[in-house]
Amino acid sequence: MLRGAKLAGALALLTTIAFAPGYAQTLKVVPHADLRVLDPHLATPLITKMHGAAVYETLLAWDSKLNIKPVAAQSLSVSPDRLTYTFTMRPGAKFHDGSPVRAQDAIASLKRWMTRDSLGRRLNGLVAAYEVVNDQTFHIKLKEPDSFVEFTLGATGALLPQIMREKEATTDSATAVTEIIGSGPFKFVKGEYVPGAKVVYEKNRDYVPRTEAPDGLTGARVVKVDRVEWTIIPDPATAAAALSKGEVDYWDTVALDQLPVLAKSPDVVTGKLVPLPYVANIRMNQIQPPFDNVKVRQAVAHLLDQNELMQAAVGDPAWYATCYAYFVCGSPNATLAGSEPYSKPSVAKAKEALAASGYKGEKVVILGTKELAPIGGMVEVLNQRMKEAGFNVELRMMAWGVLTTLINKHPPEADSWHIFATYSTGGVMHHPLTNIFADMDCNAKNVAGWPCDQEQMKLKAAYLKASGDAQKPALDALHKKLWEQVVYVPGGQFDAPFAWRKNLEGVAPAALPVFWNITKK
């Protein structure tokens, strides 16, 4: 009955949107998840990053090949001693309220972002000073040279360093900003925002794009529709039907079991848009029992079969692969060092590790959601296999927005959660700096699970300082430590198809789904 009610509500909402008058050039999108956090400095989910990329801009960003290029910055120059980085803001850039984008706004935004993001905190530790030259130009001066400044400011990592007005950027970093005013190509329409149902963006008609050719998140961001509407449709069959009928135009992250349905529609195109695969992982709460014990984490690592997880998450072997590399198989940082004991699942080894841990049958709460099909499939496998190994488990399925709220609360309430499954883009996971799940800093500011190992942090620092022939041994040493501590359990990697109507032109690959440069005919 509940499922039927949800479907009826979704269809009613689609009917309302499909026939809404006055916006002939409305791009209608079904996003992969509900948008609950509007402040891009506060939350790591992909849906918040998509929202942030629409409304705000960063100084630098990734192109489609993950190269760093200027966006909000017109230019960047580096002194010969690599201690002074000079940024000049793009001329004519304005916030949505008409005020100019200034160097002061960029500095205040970077400072706020740095308190929340692991890449930002590392860079902040290297900064000697910020200097405003004028409203358009500023310096970042370092204490010592570093090879990853541009990468840090341009990577699509945990939290994007989006530029806010100085007014919002001086808000305490633990408090969400309430005025969503950026300088990006879209304006957030606050009055039409309905959590769980609808998000609306309007074209920023004062936006002046860059002149370079569009490329990933860089180059010209030209908005070719009047507005973009996100309709939240949790049921994949309903989303597929809406796309096939032309009630929506674009579906971000298609459920694979709906591909045969979409294949029957002559007006629908499917394709791969992100440069690296999605990466699944099993994440554990490491500041409370039982997963504060490495032996218990090792038991889970021995237990899980990536093929089984990916079958449940994705289904079609053509779309997934097993991978025991923390930094993405097929990427420049791929290594399997230290993974050997876990590459073949063994219930016997899992039971042995669990017995050695001293686990006494304490309840383990697994969190899951059916709103994101890969997560729903993986937690069902996780629940069954943990029972077989001797864990006392309780599976709690809930809305994705509720789940993300629970896991991000630090410290977590007793028995609120112990373990969950998730996935992230390969662009985030492929590098030791951007892989937020492999961050083991003991400051309790890393992402949900809060693993802590200062030796691992030293190995990470050594890798970041290494060059030439020293890089590979340093990477292997870091990777071995991650497996030794089981910072999380890699679950495999998979490609997620996107789908859109044939009357759309300009849909292009990027590290995030974006909606500029798309024409609706």
In the prediction, which pLDDT does 78 show? 97
Cα 31 from chain centre: 14
In the prediction, which pLDDT does 103 show? 98
Measure the N-to-C terminal CA separation of the chain; round to a whole number of Å: 39
Q: What is the 3-state secondary structure (H, E, C) of 155-199?
A: CCCCCCCCCCCHHHHCCCCCCCCCCCCCCCCEEECHHHCECCCEE
What is the mean pLDDT for each group of 10 consecutive residues in the chain (521 residues)?
A: 41 41 75 93 91 97 93 97 97 96 98 92 95 97 95 90 97 94 98 96 96 96 97 94 97 90 95 90 97 98 97 92 96 95 95 96 96 93 97 96 91 94 91 91 88 95 91 96 98 94 95 95 91
Nearest residue to 390 via CA among 359, 425, 429 = 359
Structure-block tokens of residue 348: 């016997």
Enter the DSSP assignment of 436.
G
In the prediction, which pLDDT does 373 show? 86
| CA distances (Å), origin 194, targets 47, 248, 521 | 15, 18, 28
Q: Is residue 256 within 8 Å of residue 422, measured between CB atoms? A: no
Structure-block tokens of residue 328: 């993405």
Domains defined along the chain, listed by start: 1-39+184-274+497-521 (3.40.190.10), 57-176 (3.90.76.10), 278-494 (3.10.105.10)
SS3 content of the chain, % helix, strand, coil (to 5): 35, 20, 45
Model's pTM, two decimal places?
0.81
The amino acid that residue 208 corresponds to is V
The amino acid that residue 314 corresponds to is V
In the prediction, which pLDDT does 44 show? 85
Q: Is residue 81 within 8 Å of residue 192, measured between CB atoms? A: no
Peptide bond into 290 cis (omega under 30): yes
Q: How far apart are CA 285 and CA 297, in angstroms?
A: 10
**Phi, then psi, of 136 in degrees rounded to 5:** -105, -15
Q: Token pair 């009613």 is at which residue?
A: 12
In the prediction, which pLDDT does 24 show? 53
Q: How many helices (H) and strands (E) does the chain have?
A: 16, 21
Q: How far apart are CA 244 and CA 427, in angstroms?
A: 30
In the prediction, which pLDDT does 401 show? 84
Enter the DSSP assignment of 343.
S
